[in-house]
Structure 1
Amino acid sequence: MSKHSLTIRFIEPKFSENNRPMSTSSFDTIAYRLSEILLRLNAGEALEIKKLADDFAVNERTIRRDLNERFSFLGLEKKGSRYTLPRYKLGTYSQQDVQRIASLAGLQGMSPRLSSDFLGDLLDNSLRGALLVHGTRAEDISGKEHELAQLRVGIQDSRIVQFEYCKPDDTRKMVSVNPYKLALSDGSWYLQATDQGKVKSYAVSRIDRLLVTSDSFSPDASVHEYLKSEDTIWLNQEKAKVVLKVAPPAASYFQRRQLIGSQKIEMTLEDGEILVSGLIAHPNQILPVVRYWIPYIRVISPDGLQAELDAQLKAYLGVPG
Structure 2
Amino acid sequence: MAHDKLAVRLAQILMRFNDGGSFSLEELASEFNVDIRTIQRDLNQRLSFMPIKKENGRYFLESFALGKLSFKDIQNFAMLSGIRELYPKLDERFVTDLLSSKINGIFMVKNDGFEKIDYESFEKISVAILKNFIITFTYKEKQREVKPYKLINYQGIWYLIADENNKLKHFSVSKIKDLSTTSKSFILKKEFINQILNDKNIWLDDSKEAIIRLSKSAKEYFFRKNILHNFEFIDEDEQSYTLKVYFSYDDELLNVVKQWIPYIRILKPINLKSKLEMILKDYLQN
TM-score by length of 2: 0.61
RMSD of Structure 2 on Structure 1 (CA): 4.0
- Helix, strand or coil at the partner of 1:295: coil
1:293 to 239, 246, 260: 260
Aligned counterparts of 1:208 and 1:293: Cα–Cα separation in 2: 33
What CA distance in whole angstroms lies between the structure 1 residues aligned with 2:152 and 2:226? 20
The one of 263, 275, 278 aligned to 1:308? 275
> Offset of 1:210 from its aligned partner?
2.4
Shift in CA distance, 153/284, structure 1 to aligned 2, threshold 3 Å: same
For the pair 1:210 / 2:210, whether they are aligned, the reply is: no
Partner of 1:150: 124
For 2:213 and 2:172, locate their aligned partners in 1 and report how far apart those are by CA, in whole Å: 33
Q: Which has the higher contact order (CA 8 A, sep 6+)?
A: 1
Deviation at 1:275, TM superposition (A): 2.2
Paired with 2:67 and 2:279, the residues of 1 have a C-alpha distance of 60
Cα drift, residue 94 of structure 1: 8.6
TM (norm. structure 1) is 0.55
2:137 alignment partner in structure 1: 163
Quote the Cα distance in structure 2 between the aligned partners of 1:189 and 1:175: 18
The answer as to 2:255 corresponding to 1:255 is: no
- Relative to structure 1, is the Cα distance of residues 222 and 303 closer, same or farther in structure 2, using a 3 angstrom cutoff? farther
| Alignment partner, residue 241 of structure 1 | 209
Matches within 5 A, 1:1-321: 31=7, 73=47, 87-90=67-70, 92-93=72-73, 98-101=78-81, 103=83, 136-139=113-116, 141=117, 144-165=118-139, 167=140, 172-230=141-199, 234-236=203-205, 238-271=206-239, 273-318=240-285
SS across alignment from 1:304:
helix
Contact 2:234 2:243 in 1 (8 A): yes
Q: Which amino acid aligns with 1:99?
A: M
Alpha-carbon shift at residue 191 of structure 1 (Å) = 2.3
Give the 3-state SS of the residue equivalent to 1:286 in structure 2: helix
CA positional deviation for 1:179: 0.8
What letter matches 1:240 in structure 2?
A: K
Shift of 1:291: 1.6
In structure 1, what is the Cα distance between the partners aligned to 2:223 and 2:157?
A: 28
Q: Report the AA paired with residue 114 of structure 2.
A: R
The one-letter code matched in structure 2 to 1:137 is F
Q: Match of 1:158, as an amino acid?
A: N
Cα-to-partner distance string for 1:61-111 (whole Å, 9 max, x where unaligned): 55999xxx66994689xxxxxxxx96544354495654335749x9xxxxx
Tell me which amino acid in the other structure corresponds to 1:248: K
Contact 2:135–2:182 (Cα < 8 Å) also in 1: yes
Give the 3 Å change call, closer, same or farther, for CA 147–30 of structure 1 in structure 2. Answer: closer
* Contact 2:132/2:148 (<8 A) preserved: yes
Query: What CA distance in whole angstroms lies between the structure 1 residues aligned with 2:284 and 2:33?
Result: 49
Which blocks of at least 5 consecutive residues in structure 2 are unaligned?
A: 20-30, 53-64, 87-111
Q: Is the 8 A contact 2:152 2:160 kept in 1?
A: yes
Contact 1:185 1:232 in 2 (8 A): no
2:105 is matched with which residue? Answer: none
Report the Cα distance in structure 1 between the residues aligned to 2:155 and 2:203, rounded to whole angstroms. Answer: 12
CA contact (8 A) 1:190 1:203 kept: yes
Give the SS at the match of 2:145. Answer: strand
Distance 1:315 1:253, change over 3 A: same
Question: How far is the alpha carbon of 1:305 from its aligned partner?
Answer: 2.2
Identity of aligned residues (%): 25
Partner Cα separation in structure 1 for residue 189 and residue 249 of structure 2: 24
Matched residues, number:
221
